[in-house]
Structure 1
Amino acid sequence: MQAPRPHGVSRRAIVSKKRARPLHRQEAKTPEHEAIYRRLRDMILFGEVEPGQAVTIMGLRDHLGAGMTPVREAIRRLTAEGALEALGNRRITVPVLSPNQLEQISFSRQAVEPELARRAAERADATLISELREIDRRIDSAIEKGNIRLYLEQNFRFHFHLYARAEAEVLERLVLGLWLRVGPSLRIVCGRYGTSNLPDQHGATLDALATGNPPKVQAAIERDILQGLEQIRLSMLEAPESVTGDGAD
């Protein structure tokens, strides 16, 4: 099962001639270059552009409904973060994830994210726990409905809403870069296997937060990370072209 593409995104390139929707009210309060960066970042995070898929800069500009300058700036930033690669001829691509890179990402995420979760748990309050429970309800709904995009968005939101409470900006930015590298492959795995077996240690995380137990929060997040990365690793072994994009036309 292929990951669905947004309007105008083909296997080879984004070719839409139409302008995308205008910025939301919240986006309108953000400088245009930052809003465009976040929208392109989210396209990568949630797998709207497949690994190895060539995308034209002009196509991205049309799809995002933005000027060339903020689009180029967003591409520059995401390329520096390792989320995009330049192909020449004004084309870019999401890098194909290799098994070696996945191992490095797995090592890094296991080293950093549980620590972020522990620090966040030490600062957690009833409001944070309530907000995380609401996000988790949306995750459960997405899994039940088989809505992969919503699952990926809300799963990301759960983790980073928790991590923000750690007040560790350097670590949080490091983790965001790791998610950018692995997100497109996770989207393809979810598209192939569906949502019924997706990792979910959020209930255990919430229970540990509610009882004020940072080590248990740390352990639950570590299990959550391991389960998700293991799904990608096994998919690489079973059908590498479905995860890496090597089977693209």
Structure 2
Amino acid sequence: MSHETPLGDFLRARREALKPHDVGLPEYGRRRVPGLRREEVALLAGVSADYYIRLEQGRETSPSPQVVTAVATALRLDAEATDHLHRLCLDETQRPRHHRGDDVDGKLLQLMDGWARTPAFVVGPALDVLAANPMATALHSGFARFDNLARMVFADPAGRDFYQEWERAAHSCVAEIRAAYGFDPGSSRIAEVVDELSRDSDDFARLWRLHEVKGKSQEVKHLRHPRVGDLHIEFSAFTVNSAPDQQLVVYQAEPASPTAAAFERLRELIPAPTGAAPLV
């Protein structure tokens, strides 16, 4: 991870991703820097060039909310990236104190196990898989380990086949970790995962440098299981109230769809517990 300030890293990456024509500025001749110049961002944000330079260099760490919003507008940030920028400007005393354990509430585990036809699992901020029901374990059985979603996407060869839209899955994983990082820049676990994958995967390192931010949401995923075939699932993520750092991820199939039929075949692959009656 970078040795610069998180705020400066983010501003620099997002500034370099823009071209003058993206923000309505003229572009003359060859430019010596990628993207916008610092002075151009300062002009668009209505602050002095010296002040903006201090922000990027980490010499100004407490900008007002109004200045942060103006900079976000200048950089054409969406709502999630703007919220992330505001969080990066908080000091440690201003950050909410979240539950930071890996234990999953027992009642949530019971709920997940009761979903016999629905894959469900719980992930932490660094996308560690903290708990999973039998359907989720069976769904990811083609991986060497069902332990961390980012590692599975970038470091396990099975990821390229499992995620039919691999590039989209890769961007999502990195953007989700980046969003979690904004809530807790001092997280040792996030730093560990980022350092490991940056070292082992050029693709991860490339995407991490983009500073894209996106939390988990509702969307459609296109997967391919080695034994039951293609799956087009509806994906939802829910924050766990008892542990705000954790998220419950649920995969569902449209009723009477080929994916619903594939889920039934997947269910048949789950070994019955010793002495238990067959699944019905």
Q: Could you state the TM-score of these two structures normalised by the residue count of structure 1?
A: 0.27
Structure showing greater radius of gyration is 2
Going by fraction, where is strand more abundant, 1 or 2?
2
Q: Could you state the TM-score of these two structures normalised by the residue count of structure 2?
A: 0.25
Task: Answer 1 or 2: higher relative contact order, Cα 8 Å, separation at least 6.
Answer: 1
